[in-house]
Amino acid sequence: MALVPPIEYDEAAPGVRAIYDDIRATRDVDWINNFWKVLANDPATLARVWTSVKGVMAPGAIDALTKEMIYVAVSVTNNCEYCIHSHTAGARAKGMTAPMFHELLAVVALANETNRLANGYRIDVDERFRDPAPR
């Protein structure tokens, strides 16, 4: 059970309700998941985080499905149970197939392995890799 109770639509203050409406409209869904209902206990955080998620996760230079898979990659690395479930569901809704899901986890797992080899052996960054990132 969450440390604070989820706030349902009917009991929400108008400001929170407006955000719930925006979440449903933006995502074209008819419900609000627990993440937002719990954040609603702190309307400032709810508003700030929803604005961030809405902006960052919108398709841009990277498409929405790839962004969801990146989200899953981070959530698996950090072991966030809630986020693994919610963003796997999100990626699936955006078109992630079963073979894509398996490959996603395989890449995440392998990266966690080689991260430790690189850090454990204290491997020096090759000069050729130090060029600035793409412009």
8-27 positions binding a copy of itself, by CB under 8 A: none
Per the CB < 8 A criterion, the answer to whether 18 and 50 are in contact is no
Q: How many helices (H) and strands (E) does the chain have?
A: 6, 0
State yes or no: residue 115 binds a copy of itself (CB under 8 A): yes
Give, as ranges, the residues between 85 and 104 that touch a copy of itself (CB under 8 A).
85-89, 92, 96-104
| Rounded least distance, CB 7 to a copy of itself, Å | 12
Structure tokens at 118: 């690189």
Cα 48 from Cα 42, distance rounded (Å): 10
State yes or no: residue 50 binds a copy of itself (CB under 8 A): no
Site string for a copy of itself, 60-79 (x = CB under 8 A): xxx---xx-xxxxxxxxxxx
State yes or no: residue 33 binds a copy of itself (CB under 8 A): yes
Contacting range for a copy of itself; rule: CB under 8 A; set: 9-17, 18-26, 59-67: 59-67
Q: Is the four-CA dihedral 85, 109, 70, 42 of positive or negative sign?
A: positive
What are the phi and psi torsion angles at 114 (to 5°)? -70, -25
